Structure 1
Amino acid sequence: MSRSPNFFARTFRAFHYRDFRMMWIGACVSTIGTFVQQFAQSWLVYDLTKDAFYLGLDLFLGQLPIMMFSLFGGVFADRMDRRKMLLASQYIQMVCAFLLAALFATHVIQVWHILALSFFVGLGQSFGGPAYSALLPSLVDPEDLSNAIAMNSIQFNLARIVGPTIGGIAYTTLGATWCFTLNGISYVAVIISLFMIQVKFVPAKSTVSVLSSMKEGIRFIRCRDGMSALVILAFCTTLFGFSLNSFLPVFVRTVFHKGPETYTILLVCSGAGSIAGALSVAAVERMKGQGRLTLLILVLLGIIIAGFAMSRWLPLSCVLMFLAGTAIMASASFMVSLAQLLTTDAMRGRVMSVYNLAFRSGIPLGALVLGKLIPMYGVTKALSGAGLALSAISLYFLLTNRESTFRPATRQPSASPHSTAM
């Protein structure tokens, strides 16, 4: 009887921190709004074009600014007030949501409008993302960092369940305009939370040039044991493993011959699996063999993706989506917690911007490639090939790398931020 409270206290221990609770609530509301819009936007793009390539292009353009500018965002996150950077990012994304709602409400919406606004949203995220990654660890004690990262993943994936559900209802009953409007309103929650938290760590002002500061962060990554391998693995994971949700409308239309309701069900299954994966990570305090477990999960994820691509039975596809969501979130949570533990507060913005660049750049590149391969070879062959490629790469890392490769180092690398700055 006494184990249950201990389990819940251990799993949700990051919520003991007031500032983390405030940020979690604000981010959850905002992310729900994002998925409400994403539901309508993906369906709208496919309805306007009837071409899977534009789904991939929309995702690519949303991620392109992150690939182009997130390294600069990481430098600024290490020399500016991270809260102010986040506020600016939220304002940009809120304006884009309301503008998209206005374009649709006035019946002048065209696909290039959506693509252009996706680019500007990505531009805001390219500076807000590194600031958020650098700010989050300062809200909790170091021993609770892994739990906070898992809890942050839970809010994201809780939003993946609630958001598409609200999006599906709003899209079918009220229209796409309300989906975009609800997303714009949702940014108010995270803006309020940013004004309420107390930021404990404010980066010191630096006279070092932006380019030199960027090189300093890259040098830190190269000297830190395990960080380079982690960055490479993060890119390969998202390149081959994270495009499944982007092409669900194609499966729904061409394989199952269904509509938005089936699309919503598959997204909810994926989100529910992701919450299960994040809760599993959150319940773990300290665990040996985390690197090997992550690689085994990624091997399994590739097999699940290939199985989903070949499935023609909707109940089986729903189960596979749940398992894919579990594997995606568990592996991603393990990798980002390792990356956070490998760096320091002074270098966190730059190091995490490089990691996030690798992690996020694989998503649009994979989507763009699959968007071209699907019309040529069919959605089944293209997606199953991506899944098997992920399994093969993860198996290679598993067989050729030592366990210590993905273990947090106990000492600072020789090229510390203090020595390189001088």
Structure 2
Amino acid sequence: MSLPPPASPADCATPLPTQGIPGALRRLGAALLSRDFRILWLGAFTSTIGTWMQKIAQSWLVLSLTGSAWYLGLDSFLGELPILLFTLVGGVIADRHNRRLLLISSQVVQLSSATLLALLVWFDVVRIWHVLLLSCLTGFAQAFGGPAYQSLVPSLVPKKDLPNAIALNSIQFNLSRVIGPALAGIAVASVGLAACFGMNALSFLAVIAALIALHVPHVRPVNSMPMLAEMKGGLRYVRDDRTLVSLIIVASASTFLGLPMQTFLPVLAQQVFGQGVDTYSRMMSFSGAGAVTGALAVAWLGRFHGMGKVLLGLQATFSLLVIAVAWSRSVHLTYLLLFAAGLSTIITSSLVTSLVQLVAPDAMRGRVMSIYMVAFRGGMPLGSLVSGALISRIGLPVVLTLNGSLLCLAALYFLTRREGVVRV
């Protein structure tokens, strides 16, 4: 029996009528005109608000239980370790199986993990090993759900709207980073940490409902090779594409050297400024507000010439902002610096993700995105683990300065090259 031809992104995207919608809004939210993307975006937005509530509460819980920056880094590392170990397998599975069902399974596991942590905190029996173990379980679920999500999105919108869709995903993620910490601060002050974990568990129901409602068809691959052979094929494909290699190195450097700053914002709030969880929440909110602004800019611009040069320039800018945050002793100035850092880093990450997805063919997208995710998601926990160990010895300002300086050098190196990122 012959198999049906693969569905193109345009075939799977059901657009809304655009009459009466101003041109500016149509350009800014082009991908939201596609029904399936719109439904998934709303579900993901709700769930991500809960995720940020848990992130704030969990970081504060770890610091309260241990008083150690090293444990903050360890928690981040263990949450991402399964992504390093299993995402390549997850990418092969995403290319072979129903991506929507894989995502639903991933959300159920994360819902269960958040519920268990809420109960442990509520009954005051939580220990640091509970937190670390549940972080690892959540990371395991994300290792299989992440490639499925990244490879599902291009099938929900026309190809011309893919950069807009990625930017809109960044908007919902970072708008959640503004709303989630603010809600977390209120919830912790009025109800306690357990409420944040419980509300996160409930938020997963929204994205599960959205996934069930999608109309995107699952097209089985025509040829199915052994999993190891398909994994090797994905690695060979990326290795032989210089553009993909340089994009992945840029993403890895950014997350390894730049994003650990977010992991240690509780240390900055508590030990540098002598403040509590409310200041930490505001720091995260300002960073998130900057990221939303940056994502709006990417959504407006869409695909444009010279994306590679722009992302490298902004990566260099972000590295200087990391150094400025390290030595700021005014909390209000720090808020502004974090806003600017959030703006620059989200434009950089949105552009590099767009370019990787545009370069990767549909049949290889799950595997290419899984390799990209290992570099992008894996950089932060590894960087946090190394930075956490160094902070205990030489202090937060020196470590952030070192990270920012190395990141700036990496951006300048790729800007001077005649191939790779600068050519896309």
Q: TM-score, normalised by structure 1?
A: 0.94
Counterpart in the other structure of 1:240: 257
Extract unaligned runs of 5+ from structure 1: 409-422
Alignment of 1:203-352 (within 5 A): 203-204=220-221, 206-352=223-369
Q: 2:98–2:218: 8 Å Cα contact kept in structure 1? A: no
Counterpart in the other structure of 1:47: 64
Counterpart in the other structure of 1:199: 216
Q: What CA deviation, in whole Å up to 9, does each residue of 1:303-343 have, x standing for no partner? A: 00000100001111011000000011000000000000001
Alignment of 1:4-403 (within 5 A): 5-204=22-221, 206-402=223-419
Partner of 1:380: helix, strand, or coil?
A: helix
Partner of 2:96: helix, strand, or coil?
A: coil
The one-letter amino acid paired with 1:342 is V
The one-letter amino acid paired with 1:117 is L
Partner of 1:390: helix, strand, or coil?
A: helix
Q: What CA deviation, in whole Å up to 9, does each residue of 1:68-109 have, x standing for no partner? A: 000000000000000110011001000000000111112110
Q: 1:232–1:358: 8 Å Cα contact kept in structure 2? A: yes
Q: What CA deviation, in whole Å up to 9, does each residue of 1:339-379 have, x standing for no partner? A: 00001111110000001111111100100011001111111
Q: What CA deviation, in whole Å up to 9, does each residue of 1:379-413 have, x standing for no partner? A: 111111111111111111111243x64545xxxxx
Q: What CA deviation, in whole Å up to 9, does each residue of 1:42-91 have, x standing for no partner? A: 00100110000000000000000000000000000000000110011001
Q: 2:288–2:339: 8 Å Cα contact kept in structure 1? A: yes
**Counterpart Cα distance in 1 of 2:361 and 2:155:** 11
**Counterpart Cα distance in 2 of 1:302 and 1:44:** 29
CA RMSD of aligned residues (A): 1.2
Q: 2:309–2:421: 8 Å Cα contact kept in structure 1? A: no
Extract unaligned runs of 5+ from structure 2: 1-20
Q: 1:341 to 1:251 in 2, by over 3 A?
A: same
Q: 1:65–1:122: 8 Å Cα contact kept in structure 2? A: yes
The one-letter amino acid paired with 1:271 is G
Report the Cα offset of residue 225 of structure 1.
Answer: 4.1
**Counterpart Cα distance in 1 of 2:196 and 2:345:** 26
**Counterpart Cα distance in 1 of 2:388 and 2:209:** 38
Partner of 2:235: helix, strand, or coil?
A: helix
**Counterpart Cα distance in 1 of 2:81 and 2:303:** 36
Report the Cα offset of residue 5 of structure 1.
Answer: 2.9
The one-letter amino acid paired with 1:393 is A
Report the Cα offset of residue 287 of structure 1.
Answer: 1.7
